[in-house]
Structure 1
Amino acid sequence: MRFDGDKVDEIKIAYIGGGSRGWAWRLMSDLSLEQSLSGTVYLYDIDYEAAKTNETIGNNLKSQWFYTAVNNIESALKDANFVIISILPGTFNEMASDVHTPEKYGIYQSVGDTTGPGGLFRALRTIPIFVEFANKIKEYCPDAWVINYTNPMALCVRTLYNTFPKIKAFGCCHEVFSTQNLIVKAAKEIEDIECSREDIKTNVLGINHFTWIDKATYKDIDLIPIYEKFVDKYFDTGYEGEVSWQSSYTSSANKVKFDLFKKYRIIAAAGDRHLTEFVPQLGYLENPETVKKWKFHLTPVSWRIKNREELIKKSQKMAKGEENFKISPSGEEGVKQIKALVGLGDLITNVNLPNYGQIKGIEKNIVVETNAYFTKDRISPVISGELPDTVNILLAPHIINQKMIIEATIKKDKDLALHALLNDPMVRKLTYNDAKKLFDEMFENTKEYLKNW
C-alpha cells in the first residue's frame, strides 16, 4: 500500500469467490464511490469464467480500481492487504438437500444455511474449505485483514481462527443494519424524530443471525420505549413499510421480531427468516400455513436457481455493455471497514469475532456478534454486557453445536455430527430413529464433500 495524504493507493484485495454476482458487485459499487482508496482486486473463483466476467464488469466501470481474474488462489493471496471471502459451499443440489430433505420429516427451514439440519450439513461442507483458506492465508499473506461474508458465519470465522490463531479475520452480516433501520422508522412514526441508521447508537450482542439489541439511543433519547410503542401499534398486522412482505422471498412483516420483543423485552436484531430457525419451539415454523400467518417465507432452492440464471444473464449483458452497471451505495460496510483499517478515520460497527470477553455469560472463543471499534490496523471488540438468562437459554444449544460441529468435521466423526443434529432444537421433535434416518439421507446427498469420513 502507498499512503498519500488523505488517500491510500496500491491496495491489493484478494477476493475468494470473485465470480460472485451479489457480494462482488456490491463491493465494486462501494469501491467506485470511495475516492480515498485505490488499487487492484484479484478475483479468484473455482468458476474461472465467472471471475473473468466480473473482471470485465469491474474494469468497464473505469474507476480508480483495476480488476484481474486469476485461476489459482495463490496468485490472488500473495502479499494481499485484504482478503474477502464470499463462496457457495457446494452446489444447489446440496443446498436443495439442506433445505428440503428435512421437510419429509416435518421440519421446515426458512433459510437453511446457519442452524438446523441445513446449517449443519452446509457447515460440514464449508469447514474443510475454510481450513484450506486459513492455511493459504498463513502462507501467502499472514498480515492481511480477512473479511468473511460466507455462512454459516460463526463456524467459518471460528475455523479460520482455529486453523491460524494469529489470523486477523472478522465476519460481516447486514441483518443488524435492517433492524437499526426499523428502529429509525419507529422513531419517525411514533415521535417524529428524524434520524438515520448512522445517527443512532445500539448495543449489539448475541451470535450471528440470532443477534439482539438491548440499548438504542439517539442523542440523549432512549429509543427502546419508542420501539415498544411501535411494536404495540403493529403487533397484529406487522410492519412492512413501503414494500409488501409478499413481494420477495427474502422479505417479512417483522411479526416474529415483534413477538420476540414481547416475550423477552429485548430487540431481536435479525430478519424473521433467520430468527425463526433458532427457536422452532416457539411455533413460527410449524408448517407452511403457519409461516404465512407470521408473514415471512420459506425460501425454496428452486427460486435461488432461477435467480442465479437471471443474474448470469445480467452479468453477461453488463460485460458486453448491453446493460449498465448501476453504481450506488450497497448499504454494506466492508469498504468503510477497509478505510478505517488503513488509517482513514475510525468506525464502530457490528462484526463477528471470537469472544474475548466482550459478552459475559458466553464462554471464551465462541464466535459472537457485537460492536467493534475499527482504527488503523486494529479492531477492538466493544464490551457489550450480558444477555438475559431467558435469552441465553435459547442460545445454549447453538453455542454447544458451534464447538461440536467443528470438532466433528475436523475429526471426520460421523457419530459426533449426528449428536450435533440431535442437539438442534429443530430436530428434537423427532424420535432418535427418525433423526438418524434424516441424518443418513442428508449425509448421502452431500457425500461428495464428505470423503474419508
Structure 2
Amino acid sequence: MNTHEKRTSNKINIAYIGGGSRQWARKIMSDLIIEESISGEVRLYDIDTKAAKKNEVIGNMFNNLPGAKTTWHYKAVHTLKDALEGANFVIISITPGTIEKDMYSDVHTPECYGIYQAVGDTVGPGGYIRALRTIPMYIEIANAIKDYAPDAWVINYTNPMTLCVRTLYQVFPQIKAFGCCHEVFGTQELLMTALNEELNLGLTDRSQIKVNVSGINHFTWIDEAFYKDIDLIPIYTQFANKYYDHGLIKEEHRGDPFKNAHKVKFDLFRRYGVIAAAGDRHLIEFVPQWYLKNESDQEKWIYWLTKVERRINSLRNKNQETNDIIAGKKELTISPSGEEGVQQIKSILGLKSFVSNVNLPNAGQIPWLPKGAVVETNAVFKSGSVKPVQTGNLPLNVQNLVLQHAINQEALIHAFFNQDKQGIMNIFANEPMVKRLSIEESTELFNIMIDNTKAYLPEWLLH
C-alpha cells in the first residue's frame, strides 16, 4: 500500500525506553507499520543516544516500505521527560548494564564455584545480581512515569520480568503496567504440533490453542489446553511419552541454545501431569537440582548453555546490520514478530477484545501465591482495562516449586527497598543454584559478583 493510500487511523504517542535496542525495536517497528488502525509518534530514549538516533532513521524508513499500512514518526530524544510527556503508552526494553562485562560476570563468574546457568537473567546467582542493578534503573523509570505520564499504559519486556514489574508498582502503585513474555507462545506451538501429528489438521496459528496459564515468569504452567472442544492434555500425554527419550528437535538445531528439544518439559509433565510452559533453558534454572547440577547435564537433557560470548557476537552482528541498513547496503524488510504488544495496545484503545498471558501483581488471580507478588496468568484486554483471569490451583507439588521462587523474589524487593544488604545476601545464599555452597562460599561469590557490577549499584550495597 503506498503512503497516499494509507487509511486514517487512531493517533497515539509511544515512549520507548531503551529505544536504541538492536532487537526489540525492529520487531515493534515491523508490527506497528502493518497495523492500519493506529499511527502516531514513537519517541526513542536510550542512554546510548547514538543507537537511538540510528533507530530513528530506521523507524522512519519503514514508512516507505512495500506493505506499510500506516505512518509512524520516530524521534530520538535526550531525556526521559522528553520521551514520556504526552505518551499514551510506554514500552520498556533495556539492557541493564553491559553484556561484555556485567552479563558476562552474571553468567560465568559462578562457574568458578561449579554453578552453571543456562540463561542467567531471571533466577540463579546471575538473575539476582542482574536484578540488583536493574531495580535502581526501574526506580528512576517509575518515578519519571509518575511525574510525566501517570496515565500511560506501560509494557515491560526487560528481564528479570517479575522484579522489573514489581519495582514499577512498588514505586508507583497506581501505575498501569504489565509485563510481556513469549515463552508461553512456544508451548502453544508445541501443543499445536502434537495436535497436528495426532489428527493431521495442518494448523499454523498458535492462537487457536487456548490455554490456562498459571505461575511466575519463565516458570509458568498450563493445566488446561483446548483446540475448540478438543482436550489437548491426553494428546500431549501421548506426545510427551513418544518423544521423551530422544527429545524433539531437528538435527540442524542441535547445539543452538535458543532451540528446545523439550525433554525437560516432557519430564516435568510426566512427574506432575501439568505442562511447564517455558523453554527448557529457563525451566532448568528453577529446578537445577534435577537438570543443571553440572555442565554434563546438557547431554542427558538435550539443551545447551547460552554462553555470553554468543550474545557478544550477536550484538556485534546486529550493530553491523543496523549500519548496513542505514547505508543502503542491506535491505530493510517488514517482518511480523509474533509478539502481541501491538494487539494489546489496540485492545486497550477499544479496537478489539483480546486475551494474552501477562505479568501483573497478584490480586487473587493465583490464590496460592502471595498477594501483590507479580505473577503470570492470562488477562482480558479491552477498552481501557487489563483484567487478570483467575487460574485456580495447580498440583500441590508444583505450587511448592513455584512458591519458593515467588517468596525469594518478594523478599528481594523488600530487602532492597529497606537497604538490607544482609537480607539480600541471605536470599542469594538460599537460591536453589547457590544453596549447595557453604555460607562462606556463597558470601564470597556474592561479593565478587557485586564488585564486578558495582558501577550500577547503590552505595549501601557496596560496603
Structure 1 residue ranges (4+ consecutive) displaced by more than 3 angstroms after TM superposition: 242-245
Higher alpha-carbon deviation: 428-437 or 145-154: 428-437
1:22 aligns with 2:23: yes
1:375 and 2:382 matched? yes
Distance in 1 of aligned mates of 2:29 and 2:433:
38
1:199 aligns with 2:208: yes
Distance 1:337 1:167 in 2: 17
Calculate the TM-score normalised by the size of structure 2. Answer: 0.94
Q: Identity over the aligned pairs, expressed in percent?
A: 55
1:267-311 deviation digits (Å, cap 9, x = unpaired) = 0000000000000121x1122221132111111111111110000
Residues 313-324 of structure 1: matches in 2 within 5 Å?
Answer: 313-324=320-331
In 1, the alpha carbon distance for the partners of 2:198 and 2:301 equals 23
Tell me how far 1:321 sits from its aligned partner: 2.0
The whole-number CA distance in structure 2 between the counterparts of 1:247 and 1:404 is 36
Structure 2 matches for 1:122-161, cutoff 5 A?
122-161=130-169
Counterpart in 2 of 1:359? 366
Cα shift at 1:408: 2.4
CA drift of 1:193 comes to: 3.2
Q: What SS does structure 1 have at the residue aligned with 2:257?
A: coil
Q: Secondary structure, in 3 states, of the residue corresponding to 2:121?
A: coil
Following superposition, the deviation at residue 424 of structure 1 comes to 0.7
SS for the counterpart of 2:329 is coil
Instruction: Write the distance in 2 (CA, Å) between the matches of 1:108 and 1:131.
Output: 30
Q: SS of the counterpart of 1:42?
A: strand
Residue correspondences, number = 446
Is 1:285 paired with 2:296? no
Structure-2 residue corresponding to 1:32 = 33
1:384 and 2:395 matched: no
Alpha-carbon offset, residue 251 of structure 1: 1.2
Listed one character per residue, the Cα deviations across residues 223-250 of structure 1 (whole Å, up to 9, x for unaligned) are 000011110110001012x574425221
Residue 7 of structure 1 and its aligned partner are, at CA, apart by 5.9
- Say if 2:94 is the partner of 1:87: yes
1:221 aligns with 2:230: yes
Residue of structure 1 in register with 2:403 after alignment: 396
Give the Cα separation in 2 of the matches to 1:386 and 1:194. 33
Which amino acid in 2 is paired with 1:198?
S
Give the alignment of 1:89-104 within 5 angstroms. 89-92=96-99, 93-104=101-112
Give 1:236's aligned residue.
Answer: 245
Distance 1:151 1:410 in 2: 19
User: Does the aligned pair in 2 maintain the 1:54–1:319 contact within 8 Å?
Assistant: no
**1: CA distance, partners of 2:304 / 2:414:** 32
Given that 1:245 and 1:296 are in contact with CA atoms closer than 8 Å, whether structure 2 keeps it comes out as: no
- Report SS of the residue matched to 2:296: helix
Once residues 341 and 20 of structure 1 are traced to their aligned partners in structure 2, the CA distance between those partners, rounded to angstroms, is: 25
Structure 2 residue identity aligned to 1:304: R
> Is residue 268 of structure 1 aligned with residue 276 of structure 2?
yes
Counterpart-to-counterpart distance in 1, 2:160 and 2:272: 25
AA partner of residue 25 (structure 2): A
Q: Structure 2 vs 1, CA of residues 243 and 167 (structure 1 numbering), >3 Å: closer, same or farther?
A: farther
Instruction: Return the TM-score normalized by structure 1.
Output: 0.96
Unmatched 5+ stretches in structure 2: 1-6
2:191 corresponds in structure 1 to: 183
Structure 1 residue aligned with 2:4: none
> 1:341 is matched with which residue?
348
Corresponding residue SS for 2:222: strand
The aligned runs of 1:412-427 (5 Å cut-off) are 412-427=419-434
Matches of 1:393 and 1:281 in 2, distance apart?
Answer: 15
Q: CA 1:154 to 1:118, structure 2 compared with 1: closer, same or farther past 3 Å? A: same
Between the aligned partners of 2:395 and 2:252, the Cα distance in structure 1 is 33
Q: Equivalents in 1 of 2:9, 2:138: separation in Å?
A: 29
Contact 1:397 1:423 in 2 (8 A): no
Does residue 173 of structure 1 match 2:174? no
Q: Determine helix, strand or coil for the equivalent of 1:201.
A: strand
Bigger mean CA offset, 356-365 vs 242-251: 242-251
Work out whether residues 136 and 457 of structure 2, in 8 Å CA contact, stay in contact via their aligned partners in 1.
no
Amino acid at match of 2:34: L
Aligned to 1:9: 10
CA deviation vs aligned residue, 1:150-203 (integer Å, no higher than 9, x gap): 000000001101110110000000000000000000000122234331112100
Partners of 1:348 and 1:374 within 8 A in 2: yes
The answer to whether the 8 Å contact 2:122/2:159 transfers is: yes
Give the one of 73, 77, 82 matched to 1:66: 73
Q: Secondary structure at the match of 1:359?
A: coil
**Whole-Å separation in 2 of the counterparts to 1:324 and 1:335:** 24
Question: Is the Cα–Cα contact under 8 Å of residues 9 and 36 in structure 2 kept in the other structure?
Answer: no
- Are the equivalent residues in 1 in contact too, given 2:45–2:83 (CA < 8 A)? yes
SS of equivalent residue, structure 1 residue 433: helix
* Structure 2 residue aligned with 1:325: 332
* Kept after mapping to 2: 8 A contact 1:128/1:410: no
Q: What is the one-letter code of the residue matched to 1:20?
A: S
RMSD: 1.3
Partner of 1:41: 42
Amino acid at match of 2:445: L
Q: Which residue of 2 aligns with 1:3?
A: none
Counterpart Cα distance in 2 of 1:405 and 1:8: 44
The worse-fitting range, judged by mean Cα deviation, of 28-37 and 245-254 is 245-254
1:204-261 deviations in whole A, cap 9, x for unaligned?
0000000000000111110000011110110001012x57442522112111111111
- Checking the alignment, whether the CA contact within 8 Å between 2:39 and 2:72 is kept in structure 1 is yes
State whether structure 2 residue 459 is matched by structure 1 residue 452. Answer: yes
- Higher mean C-alpha displacement, 414-423 vs 166-175: 414-423
Greater shift in the superposed pair: 59-68 or 173-182: 59-68
Contact 1:127 1:156 in 2 (8 A): yes
Specify which of 207, 210, 222 is matched with residue 219 of structure 2: 210
Comparing 13-22 with 195-204, which one deviates more in the overlay? 195-204
